[in-house]
Amino acid sequence: MSEILEAWLRRSIDCACGQRHELPIRRIIIERDAMKQVAGYVKEAGFGEVTLIADVRTYQAAGEKLRELLEAAQVKVSISVLRENALGEVAADEEAIVQVLLDTPLSSEVLVAVGAGTVHDIVRFASHRTKRTFLSVPTAPSVDGFASVGAPLIVRSFKQTIPACAPEAIFADLAVLAKAPQAMIAAGFGDMLGKYTSLADWSLGRLLLAEHYCELSARLTLEAVELCTANLDEIAQRTDLGLRKLMEGLILSGLSMLLVGHSRPASGAEHHLSHYWEMVLLQQRRRALLHGAKVGVAAVLMAQRYEALQGLTAGEAAARLAQSQAPSELTDAERIRQAYGDLAEQVIAENYPANSTAVDAQALKARIIEKWGDVQDIARAVPAPEQLMAWLEAVQGPVTPEQLGVEPELVEASLQDALFVRNRFTILRLLRLL
């Protein structure tokens, strides 16, 4: 059991933010041989039949062993090994979801995700919609989505986050995590570094648009990323301590999303860039890149923009705001149609949902000028881009778009149009007014 995480199990919190937060996760084990505890948990909960969902690699890395452990404890096990698509990868899309539904016997009571982010997203959705218990066995500390509630799925080539459920219990076996490829460990660390910019984006939304903000959730998210940066050397050397701290950070970040019921604390413009790159790669039928690798690189790009904000005086900001053209539904729709092709109508609906009032651009500009000092305080809280780069380098993660395999044209396009991926206020939405 992890001490840091234990405090957040099965909690119900009447929060100062005005919301009542529910944390339904019952057990989180991060240790060597954590997998050995799955069978006991299943039997204790009164279940007799489970389905393991994995891909070819994660079945070998952990699924097979878990199956033996469960069968030795007289638990009936069925297996769903997710098929790869034409590009040789498993995606969290319609095909994978249907495969899980077809592979799961009606009598199966529990779905166990044995894998990294993608497998978890598929199982999170399938278990939620079929009302089966969801257990998590991560095979790599690669993403902060293990504990979270939303399932980012690709439906008709559009990446969207569908509300689903958190796992009831997480069994992170350090012996399994220790065998994860370095790129996946670096990706987990990159996903965490993105919290610095996502938290700043959330603060901007709170400051400028009076968006709901939860201090507790924001504090947990910051604690999560600092757990990782404070243990950088251990993580870089892949020690048990380092892997445990990274996993704790990832799960804690997931819990901070669970608290508020959405991904706002942990996902800002750096994630929108990442999603944009992912969709373009998908449209061009190119191989997917690791989520956290994209987020780490995008976080550096966003930190550069926060750094530039610090150098802008209130007078300069006011002059730019006076000159900039305020976006309207009409001009945005035109831009989205140019940038998003077949996906444009869905993206327009995301940005301009029916029955919602659009942001008053003039009022927003006035507020930015009025609160410029606070905007700069938010910008100053983001670590320098060089710092983020040094951290990424230390874990051998990609630092630049070039190292990641994202070409300059795509970076340029995303800086213009990724803000439309989600209807959330971020540094990119601030910058288009400046």
Could you tell me which residues come within 8 angstroms of residue 236 by beta carbon, excluding any fewer than 6 positions away? Answer: 242, 394, 395, 396
**In this complex, which beta carbon is closest to Zn ion, that of residue 297 or of residue 434?**
297
Q: How many whole angstroms separate alpha carbon 259 and alpha carbon 214?
A: 9
Residue 139 C-beta: closest distance to Zn ion, Å? 17
Q: Could you tell me the smallest distance in angstroms from the CB atom of residue 195 to Zn ion?
A: 9
Residue 290, judged by CB atoms within 10 A of its CB (0-12, 13-18, 19+), counts as buried
Q: How many Cβ atoms from other residues are within 10 Å of residue 311's Cβ?
A: 9
Q: Hunting for tokens 């940005």 — which residue is that?
A: 351
Nearer to Zn ion, 81 or 192 (CB): 192
State the Cα–Cα distance between residues 61 and 65, nearest whole angstrom. 8
Closer to Zn ion at the Cβ: 63 or 117?
Answer: 117
Q: CB 373 → Zn ion: shortest distance, Å?
A: 26
Nearer to Zn ion, 38 or 303 (CB): 303
Q: How far is the CB of 351 from Zn ion (least distance, A)?
A: 21
CA angle 404, 406, 409 (to 5 degrees): 155
> Which residues on adjacent β-strands are paired with residue 150?
163
Which of 274, 271, 268 lies closest to 200, judged by CA?
A: 268
How far is Cα 199 from Cα 381, in angstroms, rounded to an integer? 9
Partners of residue 24 on adjacent β-strands: none
Least separation in angstroms between CB 274 and Zn ion: 7
Q: How far apart are the C-alpha atoms of 182 and 236, rounded to whole Å?
A: 9
Q: Label residue 143 left, alpha or beta by phi (over 0 means left) and psi (-120 to 50 means alpha).
A: beta
* Cα of 132 vs its chain's centroid, Å: 23
Closest CA to 304 of 405, 211, 399: 399
Q: What's the closest the beta carbon of residue 17 comes to Zn ion, in angstroms?
A: 3
Closest CA to 265 of 14, 93, 19: 19
Of 216 and 369, CB closest to Zn ion = 216
Residue number, 33 or 89, with CB nearest to Zn ion? 89
Q: Which is nearer to Zn ion, 116 or 336 (CB)?
A: 116
Q: Which is nearer to Zn ion, 188 or 401 (CB)?
A: 188
CB 204 within 8 A of CB 426: yes
CB of 145 to Zn ion, least distance (A): 7
Report DSSP letters for 322-333, one per residue.
HHSPPP-HHHHH
Number of Cα atoms under 13 Å in the Cβ half of residue 167: 29
d(CA 421, CA 410): 15
For the bound state, the minimum distance from the C-beta of residue 143 to Zn ion, rounded and expressed in Å, comes to 6
Rounded to the nearest whole angstrom, what is the least distance from the CB of residue 278 to Zn ion in the complex? 11
Find the length of the chain. 434
Residues in contact with Zn ion by CB under 5 A are 15, 17, 191, 214, 216
Residue 334 three-state SS = helix
Q: Which is nearer to Zn ion, 93 or 270 (CB)?
A: 270
Q: Cβ 197 to Zn ion, closest distance in Å?
A: 11
Point out which residues pair with 52 in neighbouring strands. 79, 112
Whose Cβ is closer to Zn ion: residue 15's or residue 359's? 15
Q: Return the biggest CA–CA distance within the chain.
A: 72
Nearer to Zn ion, 15 or 178 (CB): 15
**Minimum CB distance to Zn ion, residue 87 (Å):** 21
Residues 246, 225: Cα–Cα separation, whole Å: 9
